[in-house]
Amino acid sequence: MNNRVRVVLLAMLSLCVTVACGASLATAQSTKDKTAKTEKTAKTTATTKQGKAGQNNYTDTFATEEYSTTGENPYVVLQPGYQLVLDGKEGKTDVHLEITVLDETEEVDGVETRVVEERESKDGILFEVSRNFFVIGQRTNSVFYFGEDVQFFDKNGNVKSTDGSFRSGVDGARYGLQMPGIVLVGPRYFQEVAPGVALDRAEHISTTEEVATPAGTFQNALKVRETTPLEPKLKEFKFHAPGVGLVKDGPLELTKVVDPR
């Protein structure tokens, strides 16, 4: 092979290598750009989701501990025989609510719970009866809510619905937090964790409220805003007095306390 041919072949070989390298570099850069774009998109999506979660950051999982079915924390009394009676008007309808701690316990999700009955009447006719299941944590003094059996009645006294009933450990439901043992302004938590059935949430607004009711005026009451993702437009406010419990629930106000302590 003469020198001229050898030079031509070397030139062609060099050109092929240059083109191949250029193509490889272009491909690598393209892959790098796509990867960076994907990572940026993923990061943006994660940040967006995190921001949305931050706006609705309610605690929904609570550590297990040893429980008691009798006792009290600053805003909830679980002594058998203890009763709160509230009355008020919803529009033109007279509403009467009795909340009674029964001398009954029931096992729910492997835990012995205290039964608290709520009986609500409208214009003197029984409207709803619910059996609620509560415990008090021995370590935190927090009151936890393990579910409820609900019955709604028609005007003839017949059960027409059990909507809202749930029990921790059944169909994906878990127990929620009814009231922390130490109450501060700001905490947000789920009281009920039953997907698609009951998802009430609570947020502490104030601990210095004065609430006047027919049963008396209460100082340093806890104001709680309750919402649920099942009804995004629904918002209710409840007031709990230290050593007493619920003293105002929307239009309902405390009219009587039965205290066996």
Per residue in 188-227, pLDDT (tens digit) is 999 999 999 999 999 999 999 999 999 999 999 999 999 9
Region class of 181: left (phi > 0), else alpha (psi between -120 and 50), else beta:
alpha
pLDDT of residue 45: 39
One DSSP character per residue, 216-257 reads EEEEEEEEEEEE-TTSTT-EEEEEEETTTEEEEETTEEEEEE
Given phi > 0 = left and psi -120 to 50 = alpha, else beta, which region is 110?
Answer: left
Which pLDDT score is estimated for 216? 97
pLDDT at 157: 95
Cα–Cα distances (Å) from 145 to 29, 64, 72, 181, in that order, read 57, 13, 14, 13
User: What pLDDT, on the 0 to 100 scale, is given for residue 21?
Assistant: 41
For the chain, list the strands marked E by DSSP.
67-68, 71-73, 76-78, 83-90, 93-108, 111-122, 125-137, 143-153, 159-161, 166-167, 174-179, 188-190, 192-193, 201-213, 216-227, 235-241, 245-249, 252-258
pTM: 0.78
Weakly modelled stretches of the chain, pLDDT under 50: 2-28, 31-32, 34-55
* Contact indicator for 148, 155 with CB cutoff of 8 Å: no
Query: In this predicted structure, what is the pLDDT of residue 44?
Result: 38
Counting Cβ atoms within 10 Å, is residue 117 exposed (0-12), middle (13-18) or buried (19+)?
A: middle
pLDDT at res. 17 = 42
